[in-house]
Chain A
Amino acid sequence: MELDEFVGPAIQAAKKEGAQQVEVYAVSARTCSAYADDSKVKSVEEKSDLGIAIRLLRDHRFGQSASMVSSVADAEACARNAARVASLLPVEKTFKCFPLPDKPGAWARCSDENVRGVENRELAQLIRDIIGATVEAGKVKVPNGVLRAGHIQARVVNSNGIDVCRDSTLVHLRVSAMTEGINPGEGAETFYSPRINDLDPAAIGKRLRQKALSSAKAKGYQGRMQGAVIIPPGDLAEMFSGSVSFALNMESVNRKRSPWAGRSSQTVADKAISFTDDPTDERGVLSSPFDDEGVPTKKKELVKDGVLRGFVNDAYNAYKSDAPMTGNGVRRSPMELVGQWQMPVSIAPLNMVLRKGDQSVDDIVSSIDKGILVDSFAAPDVHPITGAFGLEVRCGHLIQNGSLTRTVKHCLIAGNMFEALHKVRAVGNDVVTSLNYNLPSVCFDDLELIGSE
C-alpha cells in the first residue's frame, strides 16, 4: 500500500462521522539494521511499516487515535475511533483549530539517496568494517553495536488546507568496544546523520579502541574535590535534552514546570552560551521545512549570549499561551524511524545548535588547575525541574596543573545544570551531532567530584 491510498479515505471517514476538522499524519517507513555481537555480525533485519494518526474536532470536541495500516479499512476504523473518543470529551477550550497553511520553511536536505537505496549487505559490510577497525586480537573486541539506516515518507494533511510531505533519511550507529582480560574497560561511540557517506568506519574504530583501552586503566576515585569538569558532546546532549530542552518547552512553561518560565530577556546562562534551533541545518537528523503538524519551521535563537530569547511550541501550546507557532510539534525520534505514527505530538527542538567556542579540548585542559575530563557517564540525566544531577563517571581523567594525571571511575559528579550554565569556563570547538543536538564539549567550573572514602 502507498500513503495516498488511505489518507483520503481516512479523512472522508472522519467527516462522515461528523468531524468538522480533521488532521491525518500518515507514515511509510523502511529501516535496515545490522547488529554486531562479540566482534561478529549477529543479526541483520529489515522492517517496514505503514501507520496513521488521526486527530479531529467534532462539535468542538477533540478526538485522536492511531493505528497500523494494512488496508483502507484500518485507516477508516482509526478515523471512526477518533470520532468516538471525541464524543466522550467535553468541549475543547484550547485547541479550536488545526494549523492553517503557510509558506514553507527553509529547505533542508534531510534525505540521502544512498540511504534510500541501501542494501542489507552494505550495512553488514559497514559494521564489519567498524569491527575490523576496532578489534585488536586478544586486547580489544566489539561486544555489541547496531548500525541502522532508514527512510521515511510522512504526509500531513488537514482539512484547513495543509498538505505537506516529508521524505527523510536517518543513519544511526551505537557501538561499544571493550578490552579483554581481567577488569575490562569499555567505551562507546554513537553516530547520527541523514547521510551514510558521513560514516567513517576507520575513524570510529580508532576512537572506540582508544576509549576501551583508556577505560581499562580507570581506578576507583577516593576522596572529594571541587573543580572544573569537561563534559563531552554526546553525554552533554543527553544532559541538555533533559534540562535545556525541557526548560525551553512551552508545555513545561504552561504547566509551570520550566525553571525559565517568565524569564524572557533575562540572563539564564553565561555569555558563552547560545542555543539556536536550526531546522535548516543539514546535519540535523530531525531537520525539515515543516513539523509534524504541518507548521513551517524556521531558525530560532532561543538563548543568545546567555540571554533567554524564546521558547518552542506545538499548536496546542501556542494556543494555550497565545503565541505564534514555532513549528516544533514532532512525532519523531532521532534513533528510529519505524513506529513514528504511534507517537503523540510533543514539543522538541528539531536541531538544537550550541554555538561553538574557539578552544580545542586540549587547550581547555591546559588552562585548568584542578578538574576532570569526562570520557563517559553511566546515564547522563538531569532532574528536569530542579536541574540537579549526580552522575556516575564510567571513565574520566583527572586534571592537575593543566595536565591529565590519572584515569578514574566509580565516582559522582554532582551539581545543578541551571546553575552550571552560569559557570561555563569554556565552550569547545569539537562539534558533533548527537540526538537532535549539534554541540561541542563544554567545561563547567565548580562542580563536585565525590568518590569513596
Chain B
Amino acid sequence: MIDLLKQAVGVMQDAGAQFCDARYQKVNRTIIQIVDGGVRSLAEDLTGGLCLRARSSGSWGYASTNDLDRKKVFLAAERAASNSRLGSSKGILIPASKAQRRDLKAAVGLHPSKVPLEEKLALTKDLEKAQRISPQIVNSTAYYMDSVRTNWLVNSFGSELKWEEVRGRLFGQPVASDGIRTELFYNIVDGTKGFEMFKSLDLEEFGRHCGKEAVGMLSAKKCPFGEQVCITDPSVTGLLSHEVMGHASEADEIIKKRSFLSTVVGKKVASDLITMVDDGTVEGAYGSIPFDDEGTPSSRTRIIENGVYRGYMHSLETAAEMQVRPTGNGRAQDPFRRVFVRMTNTYFEAGDWKLDEMLEGVKFGVMTDRFISGMEDPVGGGFEAKALRGFLIENGKVTDVLRSFTLTGKALEILKTTDAVGKDIRLDGGTCGKGNEDFVPVADGGPYCRSRIILGGG
C-alpha cells in the first residue's frame, strides 16, 4: 500500500502540487443491537478508501475512491492536483517538516479481532436483559460497537506512516412508561481500548442501574426556569468545553475571525479556577489518536490556564498561517471527507472541591446528569446544552429528580461565575460534527463545576 501511495504522491507533485498527501484507510467494524430480547442487528462491515489531497497556493484539491486499480488511482491523483487549481484561496507555503517513518499497532489489552463474535453477542444480550428490572420498562436496548481503523499515509515531505486505532462502545438504554409518561435513561462505556474494557464490567449492575434510573425518571419534575445556580456534571461540563470554548479555539475559525476568542490570547477569560486543554494523547480516551489525518503526532494543547487564554488547535495549514507548530488536530471523518481543524479530547482540568462541599453551598439550584446534545457557537460564544436529567438542590441537599432541560447563556459569562471546580474528572466519548457533517470521534468532559446558567424546557 505504501508504494502505491508514494507513487500517487509523485503523480500529484508532477502535476504541480506544492504539498500533497495520500492516505488509505480500512475500517473493520462490528455492530450489535439487541432490542427487547431479540437480535435487531448484527453486522460486520468493511469500509474505507483512498484520499488524495493536493495544495496549490492556498487551495486544496481532493479526489477519493475505493477503487485501487493503479491506473484509476493515478488518474485520481491528477484530478486532485487539477481540483486544487480551481480554488481561489491564497495562503502561504506549508513549511517542510522532518520525514517520519512509523508503523504503530494499537496498544490494547484484548484486540477486538481476537474476540469471537459469539462473545460480543453474549455480552450485548446480557446488558439488554439486565435492564428489564420492572414491568414499567417497556423497551430495552443494548448496543455494541467496535472498530479497528488502519491508516496508511504518505506525504510530499517524505513521511511514510501506518497506524492503527481501536475503539469500542457499549451502550444501554431502557425506556420506562407508567401509561401516561414515557422516559428514558442511558449509560455508555467507551474508549480507545480493547475488549478488556467490557470484560471488566459488571453487566448486571450496569443494566440494572439503567433500568432503575429510567423508572425513577417517571416521577421527575420540571426544572426551574431562568438563571439558576447550576452544578454541571462532567458530561455537561464537557459540552461547555467542547461546543463553545473548543470549537472557538480551532485555528481555522481564528484565521477567518469567526471566533469570539480571536483576539484573547494572554487575556483573562474565565475564573482563576478554570484550566482547559485539548489532549489527543490521553490513554484510552475515545478521542485519542497517535497521529492526525495529516500525519502530525497528537499532542496536548493548553487552551485556558488558570483563567487566562493561552492558544489554539492547529492543522498543518493553520499552523503555517499563524507561524506556530501544528498540534495534531488536522482530522477527517474518513477518506471521503476533507481534513480541517478538529478536536480530540477536550476538557476542563480538575480543581479541589468535593461534590458534597459544592452542594453544601447551594441554597436553591440544579445539578445536571448526563447530556443529550449540545451545539457550537464560535461566533457568538453562546452555550446550548440539553441535559438528560437533573437534580433539584435545596439547602445543600438533593431533593428531587428533574426531567430533561436545556442550559444556555454566554460561555464567558458562565465561566466568570464559576466558583467551585470538582477534584475528579471524567471524559465521555462521542462524535463531533462541524457544520452539520464531518463526524470524528472525540471525547470531552471535566469535573463538576458550579456556575450561574439560564435553564429552561423540560
Contacts from A to B (Cβ < 8 Å) = 1, 34-35, 37-38, 40-51, 62-70, 74, 77-78, 81, 85, 88-90, 93-94, 120-121, 124, 128, 141, 143-144, 146, 174, 178, 180, 184-186, 220, 224, 255-257, 259, 335-336, 338-339, 342, 344, 378-379, 381, 383, 385-386, 388-392, 394, 409-412, 414-415, 448, 450-453
Contacts and interface: CB of A to CB of B under 8 A. Distances in A.
24 contacts: A40-B58, A44-B59, A45-B60, A45-B64, A46-B83, A47-B62, A51-B66, A68-B46, A70-B67, A88-B118, A143-B258, A174-B436, A255-B35, A256-B139, A335-B437, A339-B336, A385-B175, A385-B183, A385-B184, A386-B181, A392-B408, A410-B382, A410-B410, A453-B227
B68 to A, nearest CB: 5
A78 B46 contact: yes
B408 A414 contact: no
Contact of B456 (A1, A69, A339, A412): A412
Contacts of A336: 437
Given A41-B87, A45-B60, 18 more contacts: A38-B89, A41-B59, A45-B63, A46-B64, A47-B64, A67-B47, A78-B46, A121-B86, A146-B435, A255-B141, A256-B139, A257-B182, A342-B45, A383-B404, A385-B175, A388-B404, A409-B380, A410-B382
B3 interface: no
B375 interface: yes
Interface residues of B, number: 82
Interface stretch (B36-44, B94-102, B283-291, B356-364): B36-44
B384 interface: yes
B245 to A, nearest CB: 15
B87 A65 contact: no
Contact of B386 (A74, A224, A381, A451): A381
A190 to B, nearest CB: 9
B177 interface: yes
Contact of A85 (B46, B60, B117): B117
Interface string B115-130: 0011001000000000
Given A259-B182, A379-B373, A394-B380, A46 B47 contact: no
Contacts of A34: 86
Given A256-B175, A386-B404, A448-B225, A45 B62 contact: yes
Nearest to B62: A45
Interface in B53-104: 58-69, 79, 83-84, 86-90
A124 B194 CA distance: 44
Given A40-B88, A43-B61, A378-B382, A65 B45 contact: yes
B46 A378 contact: no
A392 B41 contact: no
Given A48-B65, A67-B45, A224-B226, A394 B457 contact: no
Query: Of residues B61, B252, B256, B372, which shows the largest number of chain A Cβ atoms within 10 Å of its Cβ?
Result: B256
Given A42-B60, A46-B63, A453 B226 contact: yes
Contacts of B408: 378, 390, 392, 410-412
A251 B80 CA distance: 43
Contacts of A412: 406, 408, 454, 456-457
B44 A65 contact: yes
B255 A38 contact: yes
Interface string B357-395: 000000000000000111101011010101000000000
A305 to B, nearest CB: 26
B67 A451 contact: no
A258 B54 CA distance: 48
A220 B410 contact: yes
Interface centre among B39, B334, B374, B454 (most CB of A within 10 A): B454
Given A67-B45, A88-B117, A392 B139 contact: no
Interface in B300-337: 334, 336
Contacts of A47: 62-65, 336
